[in-house]
Structure 1
Amino acid sequence: MKCILAAICCVAMCSMPALAQKKAAMTDQQFVDFAGQTDMVEANLGQLAATTASSQPVKDYAQMLVTDHTSDFSQLNSVAQQASLTAPTAIDAAHNKMMIDPFQKLKGAAFDHKYVQEMIAGHTKAIAVYKKEADDAQNPALKSYAQQTLPTLQKHLDGAKALLKAK
């Protein structure tokens, strides 16, 4: 009886990582939602940083993000339509509250520091999600889109890290 119980426990423990991976997998629609929200938040914060940041390098970095994420959002919309998926059209309340609102009260160096830190955290997360989509997407066009976008996200992460080191 103890052997059977031990065997059942062993099988259950061995299957846990597989269950966790399946649960964590994102559908293509969830990826489109994530990517769309990311693009809109990055572009919105970039516009805010372009006028609020105190450092010219931070303003220049922010303008790059506005340009890149606006272009990326357009690509995402096109790929989503081809895949019969729907891209978001506005920043949702949760992203507004967590990502946009905290920056409204900040000015100068405090804004710069929080903005750079948030860009590092956000792009680190985005790269992980895009890598997973590049590997696991059900739709070939979304898979290709994720693969093609990764170098730009890495450029953004590297730029934010360089800004942090320069401080």
Structure 2
Amino acid sequence: MKTPSILRLSTTTLALCGMFLLAPHGNAAEKDTLDAADVKFVKHAAAAGMAEVKVAELGVKKAENADVKAFATMIAADHTKVNEELKALATTKGIELSDVIDPKHADTFQKLEKLSGKEFDKEFLDTLVSSHKKGVSNFEDAAKDAKNADVKAFAEKTLPALKAHLDKAKELAAK
């Protein structure tokens, strides 16, 4: 009578030990850890992307020129989509992203908010040229140097659209 109880207890103990030994390996597969540079890129790209959407939405409301307004609409849509992809990537990598626009981007938004007409259109396009130059540079660096394959792939996939946005912003600013 005692033997089956001891056997059951031993089997249960071994099963639990096996679960505890395997548990850390299962979590490691779900979330990779990123090096500091990759985390910095993801957080910076998320903050910049969120700011791009806010600025673009302002452009949709305030732009005087129809081409600038259409460009703002495209920027808002494209960056919203990319932001969602980046949030998903960050979640799989265990990176928490802020929902608050950083002060530098907030200052830019507030400056644009006070403008109207052609003055708004000019500053809006100058802002997009500047932000997209920085973005292209950051994404080129990540596409080349990111240690994590998923981060690298995200940067490579997004880079052509950022370059196209930069070219269009420059074209509209030159008119």
Please give the TM-score of this superposition, normalised by the length of structure 2: 0.77
Identify the residue that residue 169 of structure 2 maps to in structure 1.
160
Distance in 2 of aligned mates of 1:87 and 1:71: 16
**How far apart are 1:87 and its partner, in Å?**
2.3
Identity score, percent: 31
> Shift of the alpha carbon at 1:93?
2.4
Q: Which of 40, 44, 47 is residue 34 of structure 1 equivalent to? A: 44
AA aligned to 1:69 is H
**Where do residues 64-79 of structure 1 align in structure 2 (5 Å cutoff)?**
64-79=74-89
Cα gap change, 1:70 to 1:143, in 2 (>3 Å): same
Aligned to 1:23: none
CA distance in 1, matches of 2:42, 2:126: 24
**Structure 1 unmatched ranges of 5 or more:** 1-25
Q: What does residue 17 of structure 1 align with?
A: none
Runs of 4+, deviation exceeding 6 Å = none
2:155 is aligned to 146
CA contact (8 A) 1:43 1:69 kept: yes
Counterpart residue type for residue 131 of structure 1: E
CA–CA separation in structure 2 for the residues paired with 1:29 and 1:91: 18
Q: d(CA) in 2 for partners of 1:50 and 1:94?
A: 21
Matched, 1:105 2:114: yes
Q: Report deviation, 1:90.
A: 2.2
Deviations 1:43-85 (A, max 9, x none): 1011111111110000000000000000000000111112222
Bigger shift: 77-86 or 57-66? 77-86
User: Which residue in 2 is equivalent to 1:19?
Assistant: none
The 1:162/1:94 distance shift into structure 2, 3 A limit, reads: closer
Q: Structure 1 residues 110 and 71 mapped into 2: Cα distance closer, same or farther (>3 Å)?
A: same
Q: How many residues align?
A: 141
Per-residue CA deviations over 1:13-37 (Å, capped at 9, x if unaligned) read xxxxxxxxxxxxx711211111111
Check whether the contact 1:37–1:91 (CA below 8 A) recurs between aligned residues: yes
- Matching of residue 137 in structure 1 with residue 146 in structure 2: yes
**Distance in structure 1 (CA, Å) of the matches to 2:43 and 2:78:** 18
Equivalent residue number for residue 5 of structure 1: none
Shift of 1:88: 2.4
For the residue of structure 2 that corresponds to 1:106, the secondary structure is coil
Larger radius of gyration: 2
